[in-house]
Amino acid sequence: MTGILKTTQKNLMLFTGRAHRALSEEIAQKLGTPLVPTEAYAFANSEIYVRFNESVRGCDAFVIQSHTAPVNEWIMEHLIMVDALKRASAKRITVVLPFYGYARQDKKHRGREPISARLMADLFKTAGADRLMAVDLHTAQIQGFFDGPVDHLMALPILADYVREKYGDEQLAVVSPDAGRIKVAEYWSNSLGGVPLAFIHKTRDITRPNQSVAKRVVGEVTGRTCVLVDDMIDSGGTICQAADALMAEGASSVVVAATHAIFSEPAVQRLRDSVAREVVVTNTLPLSEDARALDKITELSIAPLVSRAIKEVFEDGSVTSMFDGVA
């Protein structure tokens, strides 16, 4: 036999941007490997520079960055990190997105609008990404925007376990804040033992972002602790209006459960003043000090979920098996 025969070993390397380093460090701790030392800074004109301080040749690279505010800056840093890995001969590059920026712009509502969620996928592919891993995409169709494997992780098991443990002895109902998320609410209902479902009928002015009006509740919520579930809380208007509508329909209390705590102003103030008994979120995005100081906000860690998914991908296992075949 001619040539050189050599058995190679796989090498998992974990990289992080500067947007939410605390989450990346927790994921690294769960995996039992340190984050790769990285130089990252901005030039005087705000251009971003990134360099990894170790050889990455032939590695299985997982690049973590949450697209928190300022979103465009952290997306650009993420893309530059991927480009640096590609040019340094990483064998496979997986982009890990605890929060996928621009996910809400996944279709055209009116003429001459962009589909920015697709543009994001194209940018990462062009930069050199081989695979995407994201937590609770705004819509499942975004998986089809990327020309390659996409691992869609769900925070539902983490959130539902918490709700079941704390409120499982009460009469529950799962409520979707709009008709479009009924499928997710069904998963929630099954996770909580088949409790009743309801949804809020609302209207939204597509010309005015972050504004909607809760019209009426469809479903039986009277006398029940309503678990109001959503993928994200941005300015807090939608979720607070939905909570008000549920209490007006006779709900005994409202517990909000959402994956992504964007909490743009004035979300924290709205949640403080809302009728919600508790607001349960994950740490896919960093919480502000004001949010942490609010007693009714509970933050759960997504790190065990992400670290397990990374391990499954690295070891050629099954990510779908983590969610009973649903993901």
Tell me which residues are annotated as active site: 202
Q: What is the DSSP letter of 35?
A: B
Neighbours of 223 (CB within 10 A): 10
| Tokens 């589909």, residue located | 115
Contact between residue 125 and residue 146 where contact means Cβ atoms under 8 Å apart: yes
Question: In this structure, what are the phi and psi dihedrals at residue 278, rounded to the nearest 5 degrees?
Answer: -155, 145
Is residue 50 a contact partner of residue 38, using CB atoms and an 8 Å limit? yes
52-89: b (≥16 Cβ within 10 Å) or e: beeebeebbbbbbbbbbeeeebbbbbbbbbbbbbbeee
Distance CA 280, CA 300 (A): 7
34 Cβ neighbours under 8 A, 6+ residues apart: 14, 28
Helix, strand, coil share of the chain (percent; to 5): 35, 25, 40
DSSP reduced 3-state for 311: helix
Query: Exposed, middle or buried: residue 123 (CB in 10 Å: 0-12, 13-18, 19+)?
Result: middle
Q: Could you tell me the maximum CA-CA distance found in the chain, to the nearest angstrom?
A: 79
Q: Distance (Å, rounded) from C-alpha 32 to C-alpha 84?
A: 24
173 in Cβ contact with 163 (< 8 Å): no
Return all residues near 125 (Cβ < 8 A) that are at least 6 apart. Answer: 146, 147, 148
Q: Is the peptide bond before 157 cis (omega within 30 degrees of 0)?
A: no
